[in-house]
Chain A
Amino acid sequence: MKRFLLVQFQCQYLFALIVVFAPSTLLASEPTVKATDGATELVKRAIEKATPFVVRVETVGGVQPLDQLLASEDDENPNQFRDNPGSTFMVADGPTTGIVYSSDGLVLTSSFNFVRDPSIVTVALADGRQMTADIVARDRVRKLTLLKIDATDLPTPNWVPDEQIRPGQTAIAMGMGFGGSRPMTSVGIVSAVNRMMGNAIQTDAKLSPANYGGPLLDSSGYVLGICVPMAQRPGELAGIEFYDAGVGFAVPGERVSEIAEDLKQGKTFHRGWLGMTVDPKVEKGVAILSSADPSPIREAGAQPGDWIVRINEQPIKHFGQLVKALYMVPAGERVSVRLLRGAEHIDVELTLARSEELGPLPKEEEPFDPSKPVTEEKSETPED
């Protein structure tokens, strides 16, 4: 599937921002020695609440992932991100972060911390105990990993319900990545919700390997999500290029709990594909240009020239909505698609495939002559 972005974004959006102001500590000629501000107090209380369930994850062994692997395990164009700083990133061997997920020893962290496929994993709890851990399962789509340690009665976090997360609210990231026995803290705001097809919230708190796998907290110490690197490209290091750049992601609670059930069963998630290309010149609507053979979309009977008008009951008016409907839906999940051929609606069900299961695109593209040109002018694909 080729992704063409035709999103031109104009933001005229007023919002309510919650800002905590300190009593203005006016600076006279000499500064007062001790000053605290309201925001600092909130952060302090939040991290006190969260410290007991934040753990240090250490890994030993494994290999440095290679460029080619990063560029994509499952993308047609492995070179498209060659210039991307993330593709030359060397994974360090410092400690990483996780959080206790259940009191009986499940620990949730980011799959970023395991890209080296380490042979040994240990978890150090806030109370000082350190023990070996088993990897239960990995989600390569949401960048999560579930670990199991042999411990009971562990302190667990409270999660913020997804619908209560608002752009503009305070977001506090915690991580062990720079060493020491206490987690370090970075503070920002929630930048957006419903990113990465609803799999992530976005924050401008500085996220990096120092806190991937750690919690993103609200100002009362509840967990908004688990910090992970993410970008709209495949590969487990995708998103590392945004480290400390004010563009960070966390998988929110409800999504975590959905995945966690499967992870507990040992299920590993891969990215899912329809197996088609779309006409980039079409700005309204999504028209199939060609499909791989075999591919889920071809097997479902779709033909070049068909329009995709609905996916899982969501209307698809433009490519962005198609991306939103499918991006990060893992392989193996069933999807309902409504096609428009001429004046006829065709409803099909299909199962997204892993990229390895897709065949090649047909050599000679079947001619596609949309009966109704959408625009007379030469359209273009905006880049920015």
Chain B
Amino acid sequence: MIESRSGFGGLSDGELYPLQVLGIDPGGDVAMFKLSGREAFPYSKLGDSDNVRVGDTAIAMGNPFLLSDDYAPTVTSGIVSGIHRYQYGSGDVLLYSDCIQVDTAINPGNSGGPLFNLAGDVIGINGRISVSMRGRVNVGLGYAITANQIKPFIPGMRAGLLVEHGTIQATVRDRDAGVIFIELYEDGPAWNVGVRPGDELLRFANQPIESANHFASVLGTLPGDWPVALSFRDANGEIHHRMTRTEGVQIKTKKPFEPDLGVVGRAVERVIERFRKSAGDTLDSPESMSWPESHVTEGDEIVKYEVAASSDARMTWTPIENKSGTIKVQQIDGILSADSDGVPLPTTMDLAFRARAFLQDRLIVSNPNRVAGVFEHCGADALLDIDSNGISQSTLLECITASLDEHATIKLGFDAKSGALRRIVATDTPTREFVSLTLADKIGWPLGLSVESELGKQSIVIDGQKNNASHESPAQPNKCVKNIPTTLATHVFDHVARRVVKLIGARVGRSEGYGCGVLISTNGLVLTVDSGLLNSPNVRAYLYDGTARHVEIVHADRDLQLALVQLTPTNLNDDSTIDEAAYDCFDLNATPELSIGQSVFAGGNPFKVADKGEHISLSSGVYCGTTKLDATRGTQDFPYRGDVLVIDAITSAPGFAGGAVVESAGNLVGLVGRGVESRFTHTQLNYAIPNRVLVEFLSNASGTDNETPAVNRDVYHGIRFFELGYRSNPVFVERVRRRSPAAKAGIRKDDLIIGANGRPIAKLKALERIIDACEPGDTLELTVLRGEKVKKIRIELEEPK
């Protein structure tokens, strides 16, 4: 579709509508297209994905496996399992920075569909899933590109362009000392502000950076040529705060992406109309607004957009059509219609881009993302930001705010030659407070401007969205602080995350090199599953706060597949003030009664999506019921055969084992068990080992080496089964020994055994496995078919003679 630039989109009204591809963001796996064929389309707002919390309900719509015959979407619901997740792409493309992880069922075909919050806003675009050996189906982890990551790229895409992501030409790694710069390109954005290899990255884009992943997450949200604040600690321990500007990452696409000039032209048209509406009447003087003549002549192959204002402040625009590679110039006078296409301007950066587009020669084609400045939309403090190497932000802020107040009418003076903004003049008394500009109010969107003043050449963004309670602000077009209801999961998450540790080691055998454990005592005892991971060298536990601990095995039980480990300090945490007796922990004895269908939550680290300092994933589900485990792991029998709590949160993904399953108040009900396949269904089982078994294990662990080696004692029942080769199927009784337990119980020759101890028996092997697990004195309950009658017969097993 990207190649042909066209296609069809089906809506839930059952109709197909033609679509035209506008622009693409190959780096972020996003594209924008436009539907036609209807007067007005229903649409969703892009919400503020920064407000998303772990545990929030997340609803996905899409067309998984193309199941929809009538274009009605599939709706699936779940919770946000993690935020600020980073997913590697291939090379420079398909990188998922800062994405939302959900346990909502996302499957192939959901890609491109929306992820909604409970307010009905789109918080992300569903992109990909983690898959296991089962193939391309959901196993509990889906990822959505956040709405806020998409927003800065929308203007460029909407204008029909290939948009670039930003880089600071530096790589960082997680080191014990923190996030350290490893490689820098000379003359790159980081280098130029004084960063050198070995320096520690502290803050980036106004956020404290917790890990290399986190840095990548934040960077991935920034377009090229984007101003960004950077704090780092140099070799001397000195901390520097710097402003720099990202460089665009050139992306090689299979075919060069040629902007569709029709689309680009319409984008310019919209900008001009917006601008004309809001600022056209207040332009300083006709002279200063006379723009250069168009340099485009018929037959030109290079596109150049320019704008001129006539003396009566009406705009004259020179749109350009592209026909078979050449450019035709047309002159249009008068008022141009804005947004007649019915699609609302979707983001706050919309106009910023376009204003720049028209203020700067050739900007749209040559350098689409050169947005002049950053902005914090929605009530943040920083309204202005400026170029690197320039005057301080506060100086400029003062300069501008001094000339404005809330009723100010702003006048703009443009340089007749360059088109750069020369002056900003306000008519009213200046105030110190930077309030909504009249200009920006009218626009409703921030406006990026280039300022040339006695202070030097600067770029600023004026944001009309300042939400100041002391003023009656006009209706906010994109008010984003919404009261999204908290769910049980949002309350539970923090409680669980503080009590689950991430274990990270090396891969040993079939065990993954990562897993989880739950804290059960304030002095650092952790329960986990007994896996090869614990024997890997240098396995570490990472806590909620990101600090690491050594792990020492205290006790392990092969049969229960459980292990108890002790956390001990490492010399990594130079913070010597850690109180080793102050761990948050679960109380194993506060075991609540579970009823079938009750909400439960599972906390763990499936697929190791959470790295060291990042928080675990939370999945939601219900308690399905309790059963005895009868399962295989790989090709082998799984040793634990006791009770398990079956849940419908997917915990069979690698890395979840050792995690916590809690009920809705946050009390532990069980420990996520290792990945197994149920013998009953041949499906991956999602289950937890109940607290009762954990307590038993602990009492064994504290006992003085009372490890009684499990002796498998033979039993005697007295039945000989009919065997026909190795395919003994089904299980007929061939002979019953007189006075044997079976005879006493009433088993007869030719009875067909169809069940034992509550499970169906189709093969002798299955029955033998059940009998093998019995001991003399146990009761074996057989379900037998005698003629048409089903009978239950209980045999008291004896010692073999």
Contacts A47-B596, A93-B762, A178-B646 given: A8-B8 contact, CB under 8 Å?
Answer: yes
Interface residues of B in 448-496 (CB under 8 A from A): 485-488, 491-492, 494-495
- Contact assessment for B792 and A242 in the assembled complex, using a CB-CB cutoff below 8 Å: no
* A102 in contact (CB, < 8 A): no
In this complex, the member of A37, A84, A197, A379 whose beta carbon has the largest number of chain B beta carbons within 10 angstroms is A37
B664 CB contacts on chain A under 8 angstroms: 22, 25, 35-37, 40
**Residue interface mask B54-71, A partner, CB < 8 A = 1:** 000101011111111111
- Contact assessment for B599 and A194 in the assembled complex, using a CB-CB cutoff below 8 Å: no
- Contact assessment for B68 and A22 in the assembled complex, using a CB-CB cutoff below 8 Å: no
Contacts A9-B68, A21-B485 given: A178-B625 contact, CB under 8 Å?
Answer: yes
B112 CB contacts on chain A under 8 angstroms: 10, 384
A59 CB contacts on chain B under 8 angstroms: 760, 762
**Residue interface mask B626-660, A partner, CB < 8 A = 1:** 11101000000000000000101010000000000
- Contact assessment for A40 and B598 in the assembled complex, using a CB-CB cutoff below 8 Å: yes
- Contact assessment for B683 and A243 in the assembled complex, using a CB-CB cutoff below 8 Å: yes
* A343 in contact (CB, < 8 A): no
Q: Which of B41, B74, B685 contacts A12 (CB 8 A)?
A: B41
Contacts A35-B664, A120-B754 given: A210-B683 contact, CB under 8 Å?
Answer: yes
Q: Which applies to chain A's interface (DSSP): helix, strand, loop or mixed?
A: loop
* A165 in contact (CB, < 8 A): no
A39 CB contacts on chain B under 8 angstroms: 599
Task: Determine the residue in chain A with the shortest Cβ distance to B731.
Answer: A60
In the assembled complex, the Cα of A317 lies from the Cα of B754 at a distance in Å of 54
A196 CB contacts on chain B under 8 angstroms: 67, 69
- Contact assessment for A84 and B135 in the assembled complex, using a CB-CB cutoff below 8 Å: yes
**Residue interface mask B103-138, A partner, CB < 8 A = 1:** 011111101111000101000000000000011011
- Contact assessment for A89 and B682 in the assembled complex, using a CB-CB cutoff below 8 Å: yes
In the assembled complex, the Cα of A44 lies from the Cα of B519 at a distance in Å of 31
Contacts A9-B73, A13-B42, A130-B783 given: A94-B790 contact, CB under 8 Å?
Answer: no
* A380 in contact (CB, < 8 A): yes
B134 CB contacts on chain A under 8 angstroms: 85, 241
B763 CB contacts on chain A under 8 angstroms: 93
* B680 in contact (CB, < 8 A): yes
* B624 in contact (CB, < 8 A): yes
- Contact assessment for A92 and B681 in the assembled complex, using a CB-CB cutoff below 8 Å: yes
Contacts A178-B680, A187-B648, A241-B137 given: A380-B625 contact, CB under 8 Å?
Answer: no
- Contact assessment for B12 and A11 in the assembled complex, using a CB-CB cutoff below 8 Å: yes
- Contact assessment for A179 and B627 in the assembled complex, using a CB-CB cutoff below 8 Å: yes
Contacts A13-B61, A384-B111 given: A94-B730 contact, CB under 8 Å?
Answer: no
* A298 in contact (CB, < 8 A): no
Interface residues of A in 11-57 (CB under 8 A from B): 11-15, 17, 19, 21-22, 24-27, 31-37, 39-40, 43-44, 46-47
In the assembled complex, the Cα of A119 lies from the Cα of B790 at a distance in Å of 15
Shortest beta-carbon distance, B737 to chain A, in Å? 24
Q: Which of B139, B628, B680, B685 contacts A245 (CB 8 A)?
A: B139
* A156 in contact (CB, < 8 A): no
Contacts A189-B77, A191-B74 given: A246-B679 contact, CB under 8 Å?
Answer: no
A320 CB contacts on chain B under 8 angstroms: 10, 69-71
- Contact assessment for B19 and A35 in the assembled complex, using a CB-CB cutoff below 8 Å: no
B118 CB contacts on chain A under 8 angstroms: 17, 19
In this complex, the member of A35, A231, A377 whose beta carbon has the largest number of chain B beta carbons within 10 angstroms is A35
* A232 in contact (CB, < 8 A): yes
* A281 in contact (CB, < 8 A): no
In this complex, the member of B75, B120, B682 whose beta carbon has the largest number of chain A beta carbons within 10 angstroms is B75
B625 CB contacts on chain A under 8 angstroms: 178, 180, 182-185
Interface residues of B in 765-800 (CB under 8 A from A): 766, 783, 785, 788-790, 792
- Contact assessment for A210 and B680 in the assembled complex, using a CB-CB cutoff below 8 Å: yes
In the assembled complex, the Cα of A318 lies from the Cα of B68 at a distance in Å of 14
* B755 in contact (CB, < 8 A): yes
Shortest beta-carbon distance, B188 to chain A, in Å? 37
Interface residues of B in 46-93 (CB under 8 A from A): 57, 59, 61-78
**Residue interface mask A93-106, B partner, CB < 8 A = 1:** 11100000000000
* B396 in contact (CB, < 8 A): no
A378 CB contacts on chain B under 8 angstroms: 4
Interface size class of B (residues with CB under 8 A): 35 or more
Contacts A32-B665, A92-B678 given: A17-B486 contact, CB under 8 Å?
Answer: no
B69 CB contacts on chain A under 8 angstroms: 194-197, 320-321, 323-324, 327
* B590 in contact (CB, < 8 A): yes
* A155 in contact (CB, < 8 A): no
Task: Determine the residue in chain B with the shortest Cβ distance to A9.
Answer: B63
Contacts A8-B8, A25-B491, A84-B135 given: A187-B755 contact, CB under 8 Å?
Answer: no
B486 CB contacts on chain A under 8 angstroms: 24
* A7 in contact (CB, < 8 A): yes
Contacts A132-B785, A178-B625, A204-B105 given: A192-B592 contact, CB under 8 Å?
Answer: no
- Contact assessment for A60 and B754 in the assembled complex, using a CB-CB cutoff below 8 Å: yes
In the assembled complex, the Cα of A120 lies from the Cα of B753 at a distance in Å of 11
- Contact assessment for B68 and A7 in the assembled complex, using a CB-CB cutoff below 8 Å: yes
- Contact assessment for B665 and A179 in the assembled complex, using a CB-CB cutoff below 8 Å: no
- Contact assessment for A245 and B105 in the assembled complex, using a CB-CB cutoff below 8 Å: yes
In the assembled complex, the Cα of A178 lies from the Cα of B679 at a distance in Å of 9
- Contact assessment for A7 and B627 in the assembled complex, using a CB-CB cutoff below 8 Å: no
Contacts A120-B752, A244-B650 given: A25-B681 contact, CB under 8 Å?
Answer: no
B760 CB contacts on chain A under 8 angstroms: 58-60, 93-95
In the assembled complex, the Cα of A202 lies from the Cα of B752 at a distance in Å of 39
* A145 in contact (CB, < 8 A): no
A27 CB contacts on chain B under 8 angstroms: 491-492, 494-495, 665-666
B685 CB contacts on chain A under 8 angstroms: 178
Shortest beta-carbon distance, A75 to chain B, in Å? 17
- Contact assessment for A180 and B626 in the assembled complex, using a CB-CB cutoff below 8 Å: yes
Contacts A9-B73, A27-B492, A34-B665 given: A94-B624 contact, CB under 8 Å?
Answer: no
Task: Determine the residue in chain B with the shortest Cβ distance to A43.
Answer: B597
Question: 7 other contacts beyond A10-B19, A15-B75, with CB at 8 A cut-off?
Answer: A11-B73, A11-B113, A22-B664, A33-B590, A167-B75, A183-B625, A284-B16
Residue contacts A-B, CB under 8 angstroms, 17 given: A7-B10, A9-B109, A10-B11, A13-B61, A14-B120, A95-B680, A95-B760, A120-B752, A130-B792, A179-B680, A185-B624, A204-B78, A232-B66, A244-B683, A247-B107, A283-B16, A384-B111
Q: What are the 4 A-B residue pairs with the smallest beta carbon separation, nearest first?
A: A246-B105, A94-B680, A43-B597, A35-B665
